[in-house]
Amino acid sequence: MTLAERKRQLVANELTEAALQLLAVKGFDAVTIDEIVAAAGVSKRTFFRYFASKEDVVVQFLADMGTGIRAELAARPAEESPSVALRHAVSVPLDACTDHADHAERALRVVQLILRTPALHARFLERRSQWSDDLAAELTHRLERDPDTDLYPRLAAGMALCAFDATLRRWSDSDGAEDPGRLIARAFAVVAPALDAAGQST
C-alpha cells in the first residue's frame, strides 16, 4: 500500500471504530453522524467520503466478518470431511470477533445490535446469502460436483451457516457468557452426520 492508501485505511478504521463503539453502547437510532465524526476527530465531509450512512458502517463490519470464509474452506486438506472443513471455514468470523477480550466485547455488542435492529438484520441476511453462494461454489469445486444437478453443495453451505447463525444467536442471547468456539462445535455435532453422509454420496 502507498502512504496515501495507508492514511485512507487508517481514517476509515478510526471512523469504523468510533461508529461501532457508539452504536453498540447507545443503539442504532440514538447515534448521530455528528457524534460519530466528533468521536473520530474528523469532519462530516470526511465521513461521507467513506460511508453513505450509519448503516454502511455496520455493513462494512459484516463484510469484514465474512472475509476469508471461502479461502479457509479452499485451504483445508482435501481428505478432510465436509463437516470438519466447513466448521473451520465458518469459524473464521467467530475467531475474528473473539480474538481478544476488548475486541470480543465490542463485537458482541455489535452482533446484538445487528440481530435486534430489523434494518441491520436484513443487511446481515443479504451478506449471509453471499457467504452461502461462496461456500456452495467452493464445495462444488472441492468435491467435483455438477453445479447444475447436484443439490449437496448448496444444502451443505446452508447447513453450515445455520449452525453459524445458531451460534451467533446463542452467544448474543447469553450476553457473551457462552463461548462461541464451544457453541459452534456443538452446533456442528448436530449437523455433521448429515453433512458427511451426503458428502460421500455421488
Span 183-192, pLDDT tens digits: 999 999 999 9
**Fold (topology level) of 59-199:** Tetracycline Repressor; domain 2 (1.10.357)
Higher-confidence residue of 143 and 62: namely 143
Q: Is the pLDDT at 29 greater than 90, yes or no? A: no
157 confidence band (pLDDT: 50, 70, 90): very high
Q: Is the pLDDT at 51 greater than 70, yes or no? A: yes
Contact of 198 with 152, CB cutoff 8 Å:
yes
Q: What is the structure's pLDDT at 68?
A: 83
Q: How far is CA 149 from CA 78, 129, 144, in A?
A: 22, 20, 12
Candidates 183, 135, 138, 180; CA nearest to 158 is 135
What CATH number does the domain located at 3-51 have?
A: 1.10.10.60
Domain boundaries, the chain: 3-51, 59-199
Q: What is the structure's pLDDT at 1?
A: 66
pTM above 0.85, yes or no: no
**Residue 8 CA to its chain's centroid (Å):** 23
Span 135-148, pLDDT tens digits: 999 999 999 999 88
Half-sphere exposure for 76 (CA within 13 Å, toward CB)? 25
Q: Is the pLDDT at 101 greater than 80, yes or no? A: no
